[in-house]
Amino acid sequence: MIDEIIRIIADIMDQDPHTITPATYLVRDLGAQSIDLLEIGVAMQQHLGIPVQDDTLFLRDLRLVLLRAADEKIAPEAALAQRYPHLSAARINAILADLNVGPVLQVADLAAYATAHARS
């Protein structure tokens, strides 16, 4: 699954697939923009046969989820786990630790989403 996702990303972002790893950040490292993410989502749906919800796949409402959690006095880890059930607890903790650096979406996050939805 991860290899197919890397091929999709490499094709859309015009990158050598050997330079993309599961830990590659789509926005920070590859400079992905909204149109690139849209193309990646469509390609994942077509090539992997999974339903794609862009907001969930690309963690688009992550900061909003965290703001709501703070307002409702819910632990951020719990709020993110509920909103993004495809992410592991370890990945959620890494995201929370990495938030101030910039966009947190990694290739591995797309693979986790695809794997979770392939089983559905």
**Distance between CA 60 and CA 108 in Å, rounded?**
16
Q: Check residue 120 and give its pLDDT.
A: 55
Domain ranges of the chain: 2-118
Q: What is the pLDDT of residues 34-92, one digit of tens each?
A: 999 999 999 999 999 999 999 999 999 999 999 999 999 999 999 999 999 999 999 99
State yes or no: pLDDT of 1 exceeds 70: yes
**Distance between CA 4 and CA 114 in Å, rounded?**
11
**Distance between CA 50 and CA 113 in Å, rounded?**
9
Residue 90 CB burial class (10 angstroms; 0-12, 13-18, ≥19)? exposed
Q: What is the pLDDT of residues 85-120, one digit of tens each?
A: 999 999 999 999 999 999 999 999 999 999 999 865
CATH no. for 2-118? 1.10.1200
Q: Check residue 119 and give its pLDDT.
A: 63
